[in-house]
Amino acid sequence: MNALMYANFGITDFWTFLFGTIFIVLLPGPNSMYVLSVAAQRGVREGYRGACGVFLGDFVLMVLSACGVASLLKASPMLFYLVKYIGAAYLGWIGLQMLLGCWRSLRAGPEARAAAPQELRESKPFRKALLISLMNPKAILFFISFFIQFVDPQFATPMLSFGLLGIVCELISFTYLTALIFIGVRLAAAFRRRRRLSAGMSGGVGALFIGFGAKLAAATL
């Protein structure tokens, strides 16, 4: 029994974890929508900056989960509700800003449209993606409710188990976000030719972010 546990590095039912993680990562969420939007508007390099913010945010959530914050949130409903409502408000605020940006873009004159690329260049996709990742309802619930179920509490070095599961998560996320970045770059040419299409995508992503915020606000442990 102990030999088998060590052979699996304290990970229980790895294949269920792998396929479950792939399915969860492929579900649309704030992280993927933001990286796709950045890549479509600003190109591959900025898309990867946003992706790096997502990777760091996920890593922080993994570490917090491994350190027992998931158990703390489960034991303290008030703390859980505080965290989730702050996250929901932040995601809703981002969505509202995107909707307002869409409305301004559709109403703007030529001078304002010419100034838009400069505004995009001055934003910081890494920092924003990091905050979005930390407030991402899908990621929070994944690491609190799903991730920790596959670590055997009897294993002598559970941090090794968490580390290996974390590497698997990050590799799947990297592959998926890379695909989205290059899809976004493909869309960029169409957006440059069609201002209304670009504004429509921004507004659509904004509406999704408001939906993500509402979903987080309704989440339960």
DSSP assignment of 56-113: HHHHHHHHHHHTTHHHHHHH-HHHHHHHHHHHHHHHHHHHHHHHHHHHHHHH--HHHH
Count Cβ neighbours within 10 Å for each residue of 72-103 and write b for 16 or more, e otherwise: ebeeeeeebeebbeebbebbbebbeebbebbe
Residue 157 CB-density burial (10 A; 0-12 exposed, 13-18 middle, 19+ buried) = exposed
Instruction: Kindly give, in sequence order, each residue whose CB lies less than 8 Å from that of residue 108, ignoring residues fewer than 6 positions away.
Output: 116
Tell me how far apart the alpha carbons of residues 89 and 94 are, in angstroms, rounded to a whole number: 9
Count Cβ neighbours within 10 Å for each residue of 117-154 and write b for 16 or more, e otherwise: eeeeeeeebbebbbbbbbbbbbbbbbbbeebbebbeee
pLDDT digits (tens, 9 = 90+) for 148-198: 778 777 777 778 888 888 899 999 999 999 999 998 887 776 665 555 555
Tell me how far apart the alpha carbons of residues 24 and 9 are, in angstroms, rounded to a whole number: 23
Instruction: Kindly give, in sequence order, each residue whose CB lies less than 8 Å from that of residue 78, ignoring residues fewer than 6 positions away.
Output: none
Instruction: Kindly give, in sequence order, each residue whose CB lies less than 8 Å from that of residue 31, ignoring residues fewer than 6 positions away.
Output: 54, 57, 129, 132, 133, 136, 138, 139, 173, 177
What mean pLDDT do residues 9-25 have? 84
**C-beta separation of 134 from 57 below 8 A:** yes
What mean pLDDT do residues 24-29 have? 80
pLDDT digits (tens, 9 = 90+) for 99-150: 776 676 666 654 444 444 444 444 688 998 998 888 776 677 777 777 777 8
Nearest to 141 by CA among 212, 55, 38, 50: 212
pLDDT mean across residues, the chain: 75
Domain boundaries, the chain: 2-217
Tell me how far apart the alpha carbons of residues 135 and 120 are, in angstroms, rounded to a whole number: 22
Does residue 1 register a pLDDT over 50? no
The per-residue pLDDT for 120 is 46
